[in-house]
Structure 1
C-alpha cells in the first residue's frame, strides 16, 4: 500500500480509505474494533467511517483509534433525494431526503467535504450526472464492483469536470477494508489530521487506488445486505 511517507523535506502521502461502514449501518455487522484492526494491518493512515445516515460509531471510534495508530475521519453516507452522498468531516448527520446539491451545500457550509460515491450506479443509489452539482469530489474507485466499468466512467467524468477523484472500499466486512483507498498529499510538517486530509482532497492532491472485490465477495455482500435489510423491517 502506498502511504505513510515520512520525508520531512516535502509533502507526505497518506493512505486513507474514505468509505467504510460499521454496525451503525443497517446493512453491516462490522464492529469499530474490526475496522480499525484491519486498517492498521493493511497500512492505512486513516479511515473515514461513513455509515448510512448515522454517526453512531464515531464516539467509540474516537475513543479507541489511538490504540491502533489510525486516524478516524468523521463522516456519514447521506440518503438524499438524488442518491447517496458522502459527508466527510462532519460530526452530525445532515438531514435526509433533500436534493443532493442542497445537501452538498449544507455539508460544505458546516466545514465538511461532499463526495459523490459510486456515481451512475442507480441500483446502488448512485447519483446521476444531472444531480452532481456543488460537490467537492467524486469517488472514482469503489471496490465493490464486478467489472470496473462504472469506476472507469466515474474517473472519466471527474477528469472532464475537474473534480478531485477519491477511492474507497465501501467495506461492510473486515477483509474489504482498504481494498480501495485514496492517497492524499499533505504538508510534511502537519500531523495525520482530518483537516489536513480534507484540505488535500479539496486541492486535488489525490490518487485513487485499489482492486475490485471478487465475484464471491460481491455476492456475499449482497446476501448480507438482503438479510440485514429484511431483519430491520421485522
Structure 2
C-alpha cells in the first residue's frame, strides 16, 4: 500500500480571488514535499484542466476540480473533468459530482463567513475537510474534526492556497494499492470515495491569514460588483474583466 500526500484545495488565477498561473503551480509542486494537488477554482474549471495537461510532463499528480458554490455553501468537486453547475441544492450537487466521476468533499464546514455548509445539510459526502490552513485559531478545524468523527465521514485536509507558498501546507494522506509511479488522478478519486484517507496540516501564519482575508474582501467586492453591473447594463461586460484585473494588480502584488 502506497501513501501519497495530496493537497485537495488550491486556487489559481482562474478564481476571482486567486493570482497564480497553473504553469507555476505545477512547477512548484515538483519542488515541495507533496505528491500532488487539486486545482479547485471557484465555479470555474478551465485552469484546472489546463494544469492537468501540463502535469503530464511532470511527476506531480494533478487532479482536476472545482470549488462549487451550491445554494447551501461551498463544495469541492475532486476529479471532475467538466464544470459542475453552481447555485443548486447541496445534495443535488453531490450527486452530480459523483455522476461526473468525482468525489464530493466539504471545505471549511460551518464557517458562514466562508460560505461553509451547515451541519444539518451534510448527510452524504465522500469526505470532510477537517483541516484548512486559512484559520485564525484552531477552533473551526477542531469542530470539523469532531463532527466528522461523530458522523463517520472520512477526514481530509487542504491548504486553500491562493499563493504558491501555501500549497502543501495541509494535505490528505491517500492510500492506494499501487506503486507511486503508477498512480493516476482517478486512483486518488477512488481512494477518496472509499475512505482510504488521512490528513496532515499546519496553519498559515496569522499575519498572512489576516492579509489574505483583507485582499480577498477587496477582490470579492470587485468581482461581485462587476457581475451585478453586467446584469443591469450588459454593455458593462467589456469593462468588468479589466476592473477585476486592476484590483488583482493593486492588491495582490
When normalised by structure 1's length, the TM-score is 0.91
Secondary structure in 1 matching 2:92: helix
| Preserved CA contact (<8 Å) 2:7 2:167 | yes
Secondary structure in 2 matching 1:15: strand
Residue equivalent to 1:197: 188
Q: Which of 13, 19, 23 matches 2:9?
A: 19
Deviation at residue 221 of structure 1 after TM alignment: 1.0
Which aligned pairs between 1:183-194 and structure 2 lie closer than 5 A?
Answer: 183-189=173-179, 191-194=182-185
Residue equivalent to 2:47: 57
Q: Which of 143, 158, 167 matches 2:148?
A: 158
Secondary structure in 1 matching 2:172: strand
Deviation at residue 227 of structure 1 after TM alignment: 2.8
Which aligned pairs between 1:102-117 and structure 2 lie closer than 5 A?
Answer: 102-117=92-107
Deviation at residue 97 of structure 1 after TM alignment: 0.8
Deviations 1:163-202 (CA, angstroms, capped at 9, x unpaired): 1111100000111000000111101347221121112122
Size of the aligned set, in residue pairs, is 224
The yes-or-no answer on 1:142 pairing with 2:132 is yes
Q: Which of 212, 237, 241 matches 1:221?
A: 212
Secondary structure in 1 matching 2:46: coil
Deviation at residue 84 of structure 1 after TM alignment: 0.1
Higher share in helix: 2
Q: Which runs of 5+ in 2 are unaligned?
A: 227-242, 244-253
Q: Which of 197, 222, 225 matches 1:231?
A: 222
Deviations 1:12-71 (CA, angstroms, capped at 9, x unpaired): 111100000000000111111222232221122111010000002034212321344211
Provide the C-alpha distance between the structure 2 equivalents of 1:95 and 1:64, rounded to a whole number of angstroms.
25
The yes-or-no answer on 1:131 pairing with 2:121 is yes
Q: Which runs of 5+ in 1 are unaligned?
A: 1-10
Provide the C-alpha distance between the structure 2 equivalents of 1:12 and 1:146, rounded to a whole number of angstroms.
33
Aligned pair in 2 of structure 1 residues 103, 176: CA closer, same or farther (>3 Å)? same
Please tell me the root mean square deviation across aligned C-alpha atoms, in Å. Answer: 1.4
| Preserved CA contact (<8 Å) 1:105 1:135 | no
Provide the C-alpha distance between the structure 2 equivalents of 1:103 and 1:118, rounded to a whole number of angstroms.
17
When normalised by structure 2's length, the TM-score is 0.84
Task: Please say which structure displays the higher CA radius of gyration.
Answer: 2
